[in-house]
Amino acid sequence: MKIIIINGPNLNLLGKREPTVYGSETFEDYFNDLKSKFPAIDLSYYQSNIEGELIDKIHEVGFSFDGIILNAAAYTHTSVGLGDAVKSIETPVVEVHISNVYQREPFRHNSYIAANAKGIIVGFGLKGYELALNSF
């Protein structure tokens, strides 16, 4: 089974800034642990701060992979283009957010991804990615 985790803008700072909101573990460390927990899954990881690069990656994997775990970060709340990309592909997408966006500012309550996602996991910290992986 081929699954990719796609992270959006600023998530490259995980573990390096704002530990009270996003925790103190880097995503690279978390990802390596996750890979060793799921040796049977061909798990890859992509991060970009650039909206068009995220769209290109969704197009690239969206007809051949078995699943996409997508944390589009702030673009979740702003990007019609990412929402359209998720709608246009065949691979199921699970939307993940580390924080509980519904406990935060109202602008984080809207998602352009959610309507076309297979499911949504919010507020469980980095563990949300593992929960998403278990859903495929």
Binding interface with ligand CA2 (CB under 6 A): 10-11, 13-14, 17-18, 22, 71, 73-74, 76, 97-99, 101, 108
**Cα pseudo-dihedral 92, 113, 123, 56, rounded to 10:** 70
CB 106 within 8 A of CB 130: no
For residue 119, the minimal CB distance to ligand CA2 (Å) is: 15
Q: Which is nearer to ligand CA2, 44 or 49 (CB)?
A: 49
97 in catalytic set = yes
Q: Is 117 helix (H, G, I), strand (E, B) or coil?
A: coil
Nearer to ligand CA2, 20 or 40 (CB): 20
The minimum distance between CB 116 and ligand CA2, in angstroms, equals 17
41: phi > 0 → left, psi -120 to 50 → alpha, else beta; which?
beta
Active-site residue flag, 46: no
User: What's the CA gap between 48 and 68, in Å, rounded?
Assistant: 15
Nearest residue (CB) to ligand CA2, 2 versus 23: 23
Q: How many Cβ atoms from other residues are within 10 Å of residue 52's Cβ?
A: 11
Residue type at position 24: S
- Give me the least distance between CB of 63 and ligand CA2, in Å please: 25
Q: Which of 30, 45, 75, 97 is flagged as catalytic?
A: 97
Least distance CB 90 / ligand CA2 (angstroms): 24
| Closer CB to ligand CA2, 2 or 74, in the complex | 74
The CA distance from 93 to 82, in Å, is 12
Catalogue the active-site residues: 22, 97
